Amino acid sequence: MKSEVLEHINICNCSRFAHSKLFYNLKKCFLEKYGQFVGYSIQRFEKKHWNWFYEGDRWDDEYFYTDHEHILMDYAFLNQIFHIPTNEFAYSNPYSNIYKKSKDFDVLESYVTTELEGTKSKSTNKEAFESLKWLIKWYRTQEQSQLKLSL
């Protein structure tokens, strides 16, 4: 059963789908209850953007890149590490001279022990949605079992 839970978490975790916010809320509850907090990571990636501009009598396009850094809480569950965003970030856009940093980014950055490069791979939306439904059903069953034990 544990390996099945892990499989469904991994499927949802690798997808950006319509219900991903619901999954991340469930994942946070799940990891805080069943996982073990093991520290902080920083995720670094760059995003490619189009820059359309009009020059003389024609439109030209070129790319520019923005740099992103996000601090994540790390939880161990079944010998695997999962991450939960802390909402602490740093963002830079050298093209337009914009630099932003959240209030406690520097504080949490001092606790970071792991660096993650890039973003996650993607699974299909249908596969992720089916896994999310399975996880919700499983989580509700666990919650009901815990409630019965405490009564």
Q: Could you report the average pLDDT of every consecutive run of 10 residues in the chain (151 residues)? A: 82 76 87 94 84 56 80 92 93 84 95 83 75 89 66 38
- Confidence (pLDDT) at 147: 53
- Confidence (pLDDT) at 103: 95
Q: Which domain, by its residues, includes 126?
A: 2-150
Query: Is the CB of residue 13 less than 8 Å from the CB of residue 120?
Result: yes
- Confidence (pLDDT) at 151: 38
Q: For residues 58 and 54, what is the distance between their CA atoms, to the nearest angstrom?
A: 6
Residue 70 DSSP code? E
pTM for this entry: 0.74
Query: What is the total count of domains within the chain?
Result: 1
- Confidence (pLDDT) at 52: 60
